[in-house]
């Protein structure tokens, strides 16, 4: 017995509107079958549907990394405490959220082992042994792995979990100049993945001294703005200068036979970005996945009546076979009504739905329904192949345009603290100018009740005065609340 729309809504539809962001987000994720809570507090399960998205992100990044001559490796999950403590700024940053192994079997360990929150220390200990001369450089190694940061705040699927998946690139160069060239390459790759795959427009900013990565000389990140105005730090690039090479004694003989400390970078993209993507594109009906990342790009829903069932299913399968290049499924389940299925696939964010019924077959046509804007179009079956591809391209493009528009709308220029406080309350990201003092940075945080300087806009030159102290400004900055 097919269920009514009412029953569906009661049973599994999303009951929150997107404006109630927190509630909407959790429902949309869980009900789309992307993730689930686990028996470990703060750790989530990536179910097959979200893991398939992650696999596409990994493959696309990985291909590009490899073209740059970056090679994958695998270093241990554990870091001896003494090693983690070797770089003082680094341990200060991570210490509060390290998970510690203290026992194995029935034995108490002599030294605590950290579960890697990031792998600088375990990797650079080896780098110091492997690097002898300029011939060993550049050394460009990446890892795809799991890391643990024991957050004590309320967990949010993808966005804030104690364990997450990521890549961590760790490269070593013979000169600062060479190392710095990598910034454009890596942030270029990440930006391409965000724009062309995730359909997300972010903005690149340089972190302030107090917000940069623990142990870095500087940090740049692609920042993304969620519908609730919160800013999430997306993929990032850290230039570590010689900070770690000095703590870990990574030295090489240069061409003149002299010893020098090497120059290092690290960079990462995480499963957090899946959450960002879902948050940005979703609507009241649930999530919307951009076609290039969608595990299922199109779903064919055959309209089944007893008499014509066989014929319609046959046509549906034929259509599917003609669309081999795209990731497509036929929903032939008989226990659900077409209306139920429409809701179900919308909730799962599948970019395109293809409806085919007995009347359509008579007229040699199918109906294409876009998930992003709900528009329907009737097309001839013979044109379906081209039309479907065109429409997927168009959806991908429109989603990015929408994201660009939203980003623009989320930003407001402010000149005074009063304006700043108002716009932060309005859930905006404020663009202001700043004198570069830590004191003003702290005051901004206090007076906005938790908004912070997200980062510095390096593309623009400051012309006016600091939003807080009114002295001559040094930087154009972004201010917002973050996760």
| Interface ranges with a copy of itself (CB under 8 A) | 36, 38-40, 43-48, 51-52, 54-55, 71-80, 83, 95-107, 112-113, 115, 122, 125-126, 129-130, 135, 141, 145-146, 148, 150, 152, 163, 165, 335
Query: Three-class SS of residue 368?
Result: strand
- Return the closest-CA partner of residue 129 out of 178, 172, 177: 172
In angstroms, what is the minimal distance from the CB of 130 to a copy of itself? Answer: 8
DSSP SS3 for 44: strand
Task: Encode burial over 332-366: b for 16+ CB neighbours within 10 A, e otherwise.
Answer: eeeebbeebbbbbbbbbbbbbbbbbbbebbeeebb
Closest separation between CB of residue 170 and a copy of itself, Å? 12
Closer residue to a copy of itself in complex, CB, 44/304: 44
Rounded distance, CA 149 to CA 168, Å?
15
DSSP element (H, E) containing 132: none
We find the least distance from the C-beta atom of residue 154 to a copy of itself, in angstroms, to be: 16
Tell me the closest approach of the beta carbon of residue 320 to a copy of itself, in angstroms. Answer: 16
User: In the complex with a copy of itself, which residue's Cβ is closer, 20 or 130?
Assistant: 130
Is 145 or 470 the residue whose CB approaches a copy of itself more closely?
Answer: 145
**Of residues 51 and 483, the one with the C-beta less far from a copy of itself:** 51
Could you give phi then psi for residue 367, rounded to 5 degrees?
Answer: -110, 130
Q: Give the span between the Cα atoms of 120 and 127, in whole angstroms.
A: 10
Distance of closest approach, residue 444 Cβ to a copy of itself, in angstroms: 27
Q: How many CB atoms lie within 10 A of CB 313?
A: 17
Least Å from the CB of residue 90 to a copy of itself = 15
Q: Which is nearer to a copy of itself, 135 or 176 (CB)?
A: 135
* Integer Rg of the chain from CA: 26
Looking at beta carbons only, is 75 or 483 nearer to a copy of itself? Answer: 75
**Nearest of 427, 422, 434 to residue 410 by alpha carbon:** 427
User: In the chain, what's the furthest Cα-to-Cα distance?
Assistant: 85
Closest contact distance (angstroms) between CB of 203 and a copy of itself is: 30
- Between 151 and 436, whose beta carbon lies closer to a copy of itself? 151
């Amino acid at each position: 017995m097919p269920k009514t729309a009412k029953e569906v809504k009661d049973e599994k539809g999303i009951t929150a509107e997107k404006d109630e962001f927190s509630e909407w987000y959790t429902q949309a994720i869980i009900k789309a079958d992307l993730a689930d809570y686990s028996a470990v507090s703060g750790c989530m399960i990536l179910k097959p549907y979200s893991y398939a998205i992650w696999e596409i992100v990994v493959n696309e990044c990985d291909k590009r990394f490899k073209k740059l001559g970056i090679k994958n490796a695998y270093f241990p999950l554990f870091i001896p405490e003494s090693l983690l403590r070797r770089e003082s700024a680094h341990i200060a940053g991570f210490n509060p959220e390290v998970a510690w192994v203290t026992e194995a079997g029935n034995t108490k360990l002599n030294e605590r082992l950290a579960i890697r929150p990031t792998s600088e220390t375990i990797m650079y200990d080896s780098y110091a042994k492997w690097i002898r001369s300029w011939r060993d450089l550049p050394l460009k190694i990446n890892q795809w792995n799991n890391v643990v940061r024991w957050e004590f705040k309320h967990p949010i699927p993808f966005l804030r979990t104690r364990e997450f998946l990521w890549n961590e690139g760790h490269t070593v160069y013979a000169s600062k100049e060479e190392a710095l060239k990598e910034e454009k390459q890596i942030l270029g790759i990440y930006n391409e993945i965000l724009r062309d795959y995730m359909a997300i427009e972010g903005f690149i900013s340089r972190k302030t001294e107090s917000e940069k990565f623990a142990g870095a000389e500087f940090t740049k990140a692609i920042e993304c703005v969620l519908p609730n105005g919160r800013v999430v730090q997306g993929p990032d690039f850290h230039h570590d200068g010689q900070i770690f090479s000095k703590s870990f004694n990574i030295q090489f003989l240069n061409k003149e036979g002299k010893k020098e400390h090497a120059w290092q970078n690290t960079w990462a993209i995480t499963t957090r970005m899946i959450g960002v993507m879902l948050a940005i594109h979703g609507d009241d009906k649930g999530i919307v996945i951009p076609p290039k990342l969608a595990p299922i790009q199109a779903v064919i829903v055959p309209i089944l009546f007893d008499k014509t069932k066989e014929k319609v299913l046959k046509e549906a399968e034929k259509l599917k076979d003609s669309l081999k290049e795209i990731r497509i499924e036929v929903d032939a389940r008989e226990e659900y009504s077409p209306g139920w299925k429409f809701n179900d696939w919308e909730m799962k964010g599948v970019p395109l739905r293809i409806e085919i019924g007995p009347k359509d077959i008579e007229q040699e046509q199918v109906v294409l329904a876009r998930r992003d804007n709900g528009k329907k179009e009737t097309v001839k079956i013979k044109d379906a192949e081209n039309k479907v591809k065109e429409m997927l391209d168009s959806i991908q493009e429109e989603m990015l345009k929408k994201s660009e528009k939203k980003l623009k709308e989320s930003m407001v220029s402010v000149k005074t603290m009063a304006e700043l406080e108002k716009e932060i309350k309005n859930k905006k990201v404020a663009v202001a100018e700043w004198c570069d003092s830590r004191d003003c940075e702290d005051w901004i945080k206090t007076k906005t009740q938790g908004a912070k300087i997200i980062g510095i806009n390096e593309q623009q030159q400051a012309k006016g005065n600091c939003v807080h102290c009114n002295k001559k400004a040094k930087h154009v900055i972004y201010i917002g609340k973050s996760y």
